[in-house]
Amino acid sequence: MHLPPFAALIAWIPLAALLFGRFPVRIAILANFFLGWAILPGAPYVPTTADFPYWILGICLPSTYFLTKATAVGLSALAGMLLFHRRDWRRWLPARTDLPVLLWSSAPLLATHAHWSLLARGSSSAVYQLLAWAVPWILGRIYFSDRASLILFAKSCVFAGLCYVPVCLFEWISGPQIYHFLYGYQPYRLVGADRYFGYRPVGLLEDGNQLGIWMATASLLAISLAFYLLALKVWRIPMTWAAIVLTISTLLCQSVGSIVLLICLFPLVLLRQRLFMRVVLGAAVVGIAAFVVFLVVPHPSLRAIAASSTFVRHIAGIFQEIGRHSFVWRLARDESHLAIAMQHPWLGSGEWNWWRTGDARPWSLWLLVFGMYGLFGVMALGSMFLLPLTRFARSPKLKGEAISRYLFRALAAAILMSAFDALLNGDFILVYLIAMGGMAAWRHSPQSSTVPLTPESVPDPHRRQEPSSPHGAVKSSPARLPQLNSTVHQ
């Protein structure tokens, strides 16, 4: 007897909303999003006998299902804020840092220009993206736009990864069984499950690739926190040991893409500030720009290049021999759908299944967005990844603040990991939008000293607190803040 996924998602909304009345607001936000993403079913999937149900999209994009894990945690956060923190919501003032996520949320409505009959679907998709994307972004901008709160986010990400270590070990031995035992059908549970050693775990996430990114991001942040002594412990576990355990677990997940990204991105956190910014921003801008050029500029077919090049055929043969033929398969699927996506290049088709006349579907999140919302959607999505990096790079508050620079390097590398993973995978862990929204609002946040970091810097709890920052970042009183002075240094 399985737990009905629809009932689990519905029940989560009021239960998680109560967290906002029981715990400090930052703890409630993190618990709602991390715990919800870790244990809830993806969606009330309709079972199918197909071994590879490629038509089921990741829940980060609107498609067949409106009630998903992404919208459930967004709704519970909204309910909790309205019930227990209405004053903070009234203090929120729209800022320029919200522009990327608002443009992204409006993309479904703009895409209905192709067929006005899609207006109802476009409206539903816009609400979906507001709940799934805008809610965590705005909460991050309000509550996680200072140094101590972002360290708390990083430690929560590490703790979430540690909680999944037993899941990874169990499913590495037995295969991906937990989701099926709890909720029943999961479309990509067995896709790519057989690995070099044992099985690739999935847990309660969408697929093995997403779990790989979940663990790799936690590993990257744990290594950075331990290396720069930003946090010595996470829930009484020494950060060094947490980093070791998470790194081993990431390797056991056997998701090649996440392992390669972890290896490539960690050296960036060791670079000097100026060199780091040049490398990170250059890689992000060049990567997104190269993808856009790949979409709109005519180029020879990759298959034609492979047919005429001995070197390319040799590389493809290596991928086949090591069992990584999925990489070549994904590139071929994306290329085969470019002509369909180019039928509506500027604002997209407005349909989530725009690829239905082609072979299977594209696998890149960026290409899926291009087909749905055109170049407008790609630019809006790209700006959400780029704004946190550029805002930190231009922030004068980073000058002379070593802790803030180290923290930024770790979080920026984590953001790039998800951005580059989306080039080959069609999903994104929306919990990370909390940090992205907070990083984007760094210049508009109160000084880091508003959140106590050391016992000497704890303000007088009887002193009257200012109602809000001039740009919408809430200055919570010490009584409402979690014990960040101990959280950061333990």
Between 42-46, 288-292, 316-320, 435-439, the lowest mean confidence (pLDDT) is in: 316-320
37 contacts 77 by C-beta, under 8 angstroms: no
Supply the DSSP symbol for 466. P
> What is the structure's pLDDT at 479?
38
Choose between 412 and 402: higher pLDDT: 412
288 contacts 382 by C-beta, under 8 angstroms: yes
Taking CA atoms, 431 is separated from 91, 232, 236, 255, 264, in Å, by 23, 24, 24, 20, 23
The tokens 């994009």 sit on which residue? Answer: 61
In this structure, what token pair is assigned to residue 320? Answer: 């086949």
The tokens 């006005």 sit on which residue? Answer: 116
The tokens 């100026």 sit on which residue? Answer: 274
Identify the H or E element spanning 234.
strand 233-234
In this prediction, residue 272 has a pLDDT band, given cuts at 50, 70 and 90, of low
Nearest to 427 by CA among 64, 69, 60, 107: 60
Nearest to 365 by CA among 419, 328, 325, 414: 419
Beta bridge partners, 233, equal 238
Q: How confident is the prediction for the chain on average, in pLDDT? A: 83
What is the rounded CA–CA span in Å between residue 149 and residue 141?
11
The mean pLDDT of 286-296, rounded to a whole number, is 69
Model confidence over 313-350: pLDDT tens digits?
A: 555 555 554 445 566 667 777 778 888 998 998 999 99
DSSP 172-225: HHH-S-HHHHHH---TTSSTT-B-SSSB---TTSSSHHHHHHHHHHHHHHHHHH
Identify the H or E element spanning 238.
strand 237-238
> What is the structure's pLDDT at 443?
55
Q: Is the pTM of this model over 0.85?
A: yes
> What is the structure's pLDDT at 94?
77
214 contacts 246 by C-beta, under 8 angstroms: no
In this structure, what token pair is assigned to residue 76? Answer: 């519970």
Model confidence over 180-191: pLDDT tens digits?
A: 999 999 999 998
Question: Torsion angle of alpha carbons 100, 104, 106, 108, nearest 10°?
Answer: 170
Beta bridge partners, 238, equal 233
Question: Torsion angle of alpha carbons 103, 258, 427, 51, nearest 10°?
Answer: 160
Nearest to 73 by CA among 125, 126, 122, 11: 11
